[in-house]
Structure 1
Amino acid sequence: MKILTYSPEYLPDFERLNKHWIRKYFTLEPVDVDVLEHADKYIIDTGGTIIFAAIGSNIAGTVALKKIDDESVEMTKMAVDEDYQGKGVGRELAKHIIELAWEMGFKKVILYSNTKLVPAISLYTSLGFREIPLEAERYQRSNIKMEISREEENVHYAAADELLKIVEEIFPLLQQVPESAAAERPERGKWSAKEIIGHLIDSGINNNTRFIRSQQISLLEIPGYDQDFWTRGQAWQHMGWQDLIKLWAVFNKHLSITIRTIPATKLQNKCKISDREPVTLLFLVTDYVVHFKHHLQQLKVITKDTI
């Protein structure tokens, strides 16, 4: 795969690829026709650009930057030929166009999409885009607007990525643990594997609330929780092991998305839990992953290194 910079000779491919996918999922709007048939006028001449992905001699995909103002640009008209979908073409195009936006001096990249385009929304989220309010009547087919900012230091991305990686690596190993072994308490007063996984779900539930509410206020005051009381109250010991670990995996995959989409400008907001000293939202995020890994080490011992 090669990424090609703008050249007028590729404009027919820009028009062809985009008209195809828009017609497949939606209806071509007048603004689409104008931009696709006169991309030089509406994109290039106004300070934007278009790039293309080539595989061999074929144009496999394309995406454009459309200037909004001196600081902002819209990532628009991304299309990948159906013969090359699922091969990472869209991701490479998106990564290159974002870097190009920074090189061109823009500070923000926004995009409009539709939530029915699940793979596209997942791609944008993984690259750091977060949802922002959608103004009315931008595109009829758009029901979501997303943004990424160059100036934000997205240090929390590492925590989100690490959490997701751990879940994806550990889940298949947890599936191999027998029900009886998962239910066994190693000694009186100690949690079983079921209860440890249940506790991690409880931790996720409580931290998810902290992650969200801390974005709304500069100093959030919130009660703590009694982990033993929660573990008993949730009755994790009596839940089937396979259902339990599926719930754990799905919830933490969701949390990785929640973490990644926290605006970096909110990471220094403070949270005071019970009577403890206030800590930053960034600390809560990183500490959640540390706590997560600590209990997985306990599981390793209980399950005799199965995981």
Structure 2
Amino acid sequence: MKTVNKGILSSIDIVNYKPKYQIHFQKLNEQWINHYFKLEDNDVEVLMNPEKHIINQGGYILFAKKANHILGCIAMNYEGYGIFELNKMAVKTNYRNNGIGKMLIEACLEKARDKKAIKIILSTQKGLRNAIHIYESYGFRQMSYVNLKHSRSDVYMELSLK
């Protein structure tokens, strides 16, 4: 899909989901979620069955890959009516803070625009200030919303693509 050159992280490819990557999607997200929060039943179901819950519903899962190593992942659920939800972003611990998360977000934005999406939404947690700052740098804005999917979420954000 896209190759980015960044110093020690040169030649990182952003690639689409393949069934053989499911275990990476699961492990990266379990590690990240359990570090900051608690894995919820919905997380387990989605992580174990991403094709059923994301891919087959019109969504996407992208991976940051260097050589044969998966370094990070991100998902976009299709919510209908031209709306995608950004979620399940995780980067291997020793590769964080090197721009991989930004590369994954940019690839999702590109994919959403290619699909003529009108809006991207996400939910996060106010304690994740760096994540919120990154999302805001891409134009996401905090909005009021009452029905967040996870008990750990307390911030809802939207990005209009119109």
Name the TM-score, length of structure 1 as normaliser.
Answer: 0.48
Aligned-residue RMSD, C-alpha: 1.0
CA contact (8 A) 1:61 1:81 kept: yes
Residue in 2 aligned with 1:163?
Answer: none
Aligned residues: 151
Letter in 2 for 1:88: G
From 76, 87, 91, the counterpart of 2:87: 76
Q: Matched residues in 2 for 1:5 and 1:143: separation?
A: 29
**Structure-to-structure mapping, 1:31-42, within 5 angstroms:** 31-42=42-53
Q: Matched residues in 2 for 1:120 and 1:55: separation?
A: 23
CA contact (8 A) 1:128 1:148 kept: yes
Q: Does 1:96 align with 2:107?
A: yes
Deviation at 1:115, TM superposition (A): 1.2
From 102, 122, 127, the counterpart of 2:138: 127
Which one is further off, 131-140 or 24-33?
A: 131-140
Residue in 1 aligned with 2:31?
Answer: 20
Q: Matched residues in 2 for 1:16 and 1:2: separation?
A: 20
**Structure-to-structure mapping, 1:124-273, within 5 angstroms:** 124-151=135-162
Deviation at 1:11, TM superposition (A): 1.0
Letter in 2 for 1:100: K
From 63, 69, 79, the counterpart of 2:74: 63
Q: Secondary structure of the residue that 2:52 maps to in structure 1? A: helix
Q: Matched residues in 2 for 1:135 and 1:60: separation?
A: 33
1:6-65 CA deviation, whole Å, 9 max, x = no partner? Answer: 211111100010011101100111111111111000000111010000123211100011
Q: Matched residues in 2 for 1:138 and 1:46: separation?
A: 17
Q: Matched residues in 1 for 2:145 and 2:44: separation?
A: 22
Deviation at 1:70, TM superposition (A): 2.5
CA contact (8 A) 2:83 2:119 kept: yes
Q: Secondary structure of the residue that 2:120 maps to in structure 1? A: strand
Q: Matched residues in 2 for 1:109 and 1:138: separation?
A: 15
Q: Matched residues in 1 for 2:156 and 2:62: separation?
A: 22
**Percent identity, aligned pairs only?**
36
Q: Secondary structure of the residue that 1:45 maps to in structure 2? A: helix
Q: Secondary structure of the residue that 2:57 maps to in structure 1? A: coil
Larger Rg: 1
Deviation at 1:137, TM superposition (A): 4.6
Deviation at 1:71, TM superposition (A): 1.4
Q: Secondary structure of the residue that 1:115 maps to in structure 2? A: coil
5+ residue gaps, structure 1, are 152-307
Name the TM-score, length of structure 2 as normaliser.
Answer: 0.90
CA contact (8 A) 1:111 1:147 kept: yes
Q: Matched residues in 1 for 2:159 and 2:122: separation?
A: 9
Q: Matched residues in 2 for 1:147 and 1:137: separation?
A: 13
CA contact (8 A) 1:134 1:143 kept: no
Q: Does 1:50 align with 2:64?
A: no
Which one has more relative contact order, counting CA pairs under 8 Å at least 6 apart?
A: 2
Letter in 2 for 1:54: K
